[in-house]
């Protein structure tokens, strides 16, 4: 029987998504390194969370908002995992923009996520901007 090791980068990413899908903040947080960095590239309002305390608060907000996500592994190269994430939560459902689709990039070292970047597709970014009333980028 071929068992996936818990240090396998793709398995760590899937475990992280599965545990927050289940609302288990502690288990999801355990997939992140102590000094991990999470970048959420929201159009016009990017957010960065650094370290366990900030990442816990972010994960708690996802759990409180009934976050649901489906992850598809697109590519694994060494410790870097690229995925397509389709997700929704109370806020995006209320705005009428759910589900959102994003390209995610994770860096996993020694079985822990050290870096995670969420980048919405152009279509999802446009839906978010329209729903939130964000002005279009001026290109200055």
pLDDT at position 80 is 98
Q: Which of 71, 72, 52 is nearest to 60 (CA)?
A: 52
The set of residues, in sequence order, having a beta carbon less than 8 Å from that of 101 and lying 6+ positions away, is 84, 85, 86, 120, 121, 123, 124
Q: How many domains does the chain have?
A: 1
Distances in Å between the Cα of 23 and the Cα atoms of 27, 43, 83, 103, 113 are: 9, 26, 21, 22, 18
3 lies in a domain? no
Residue 109 to residue 92: CA distance in whole angstroms: 31
pLDDT at position 115 is 98
73 lies in a domain? yes
1 lies in a domain? no
140 lies in a domain? no
* Parent domain of 100: 9-132
Helix H or strand E segment including 38 = strand 32-40
The set of residues, in sequence order, having a beta carbon less than 8 Å from that of 40 and lying 6+ positions away, is 46, 47, 48, 49, 58, 118
pLDDT at position 89 is 97
pLDDT at position 44 is 85
pLDDT at position 133 is 79
4 lies in a domain? no
> What global pTM score does this model have?
0.89
CATH number for 27: 3.10.450.50
pLDDT at position 1 is 35
pLDDT at position 138 is 43
Per-residue pLDDT of the chain (140 residues; tens, 9 = 90+): 333 446 899 999 999 999 999 999 999 999 999 999 999 999 888 999 999 999 999 999 999 999 999 999 999 999 999 999 999 999 999 999 999 999 999 999 999 999 999 999 999 999 999 998 755 454 43
24 lies in a domain? yes
């Amino acid at each position: 029987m071929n068992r996936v090791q818990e240090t396998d980068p793709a398995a760590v990413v899937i475990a992280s998504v599965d545990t927050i899908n289940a609302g288990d903040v502690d288990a999801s947080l355990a997939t992140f390194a102590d000094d991990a960095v999470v970048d959420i590239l929201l159009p016009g309002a990017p957010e960065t969370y650094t370290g366990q305390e900030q990442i816990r608060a972010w994960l708690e907000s996802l759990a409180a908002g009934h976050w649901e996500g489906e992850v598809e592994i697109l590519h694994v190269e060494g410790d870097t995992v690229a995925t397509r994430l389709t997700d929704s939560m109370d806020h995006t459902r209320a705005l009428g923009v759910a589900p959102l689709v994003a390209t995610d990039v994770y860096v996993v070292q020694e079985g822990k996520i050290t870096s995670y970047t969420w980048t919405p597709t152009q279509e999802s970014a446009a839906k978010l901007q329209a729903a939130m009333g964000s002005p279009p980028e001026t290109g200055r």
